[in-house]
Amino acid sequence: MTIVNEILNAAKEHALEIHVFSIDEFDEYFENICKKFSNGISKYPLWDNLVDFSSSSNEKGWSMIAQFVGNNKCILFLEKIEGQCAIELENGDALNELLSNTFGYVFYVSNKDLEYLISFNDHDDLIGCGTAKKWIDELLRHPL
C-alpha cells in the first residue's frame, strides 16, 4: 500500500472531513511553499533545503504538531516523489487522528496562507519555518 493510500484510507476509516488537492492544486501549492521556505529550491528532500528554520529531534515530535495547529485548518502534504498528495484537514485534532492511525513517513504541514511550514522527517526531526520557527524555539527552551 502506498503512503497516499494509507493516508486516504485512514481519513475515511476515521470519518475525517478532508479536501484532497487535485494535481494542479498540489503543484501550485508545492511551488509556493518552495518559493517561500526554500528560496525556490524544490529538490528532494524539501526539508533538507529549507532556510530560516528551527529544529528539534524528538521521535514523538509528530504528535506535538496538533498543539501548534489548534482549531485552525491545516494542509498535510508529502514530497512530490511520494505521490503528490495534499489534503486539508479541519484542525489539529483531525491531523493528530490521521497521523496516529498511519505508519511513519516524512510529511509537511502548513496552511493556505503559508504562514508556517512544519516538517517531520525520517530522522525524527521536527522542523519549523515561518511562525512555526518561533514555536520550535519555545519547545527547545521549555521541553515537554
pLDDT in tens, 48-105: 999 999 999 999 999 999 999 999 999 999 999 998 899 999 999 999 999 999 999 9
User: In terms of pTM, does the model score above 0.75?
Assistant: yes
Nearest to 38 by CA among 103, 92, 110: 110
Which secondary structure element, helix H or strand E, spans residue 128, and what is its range?
strand 125-130
C-alpha cell at 37: 521556505
Q: Is 83 left (phi over 0), alpha (psi -120 to 50) or beta?
A: left
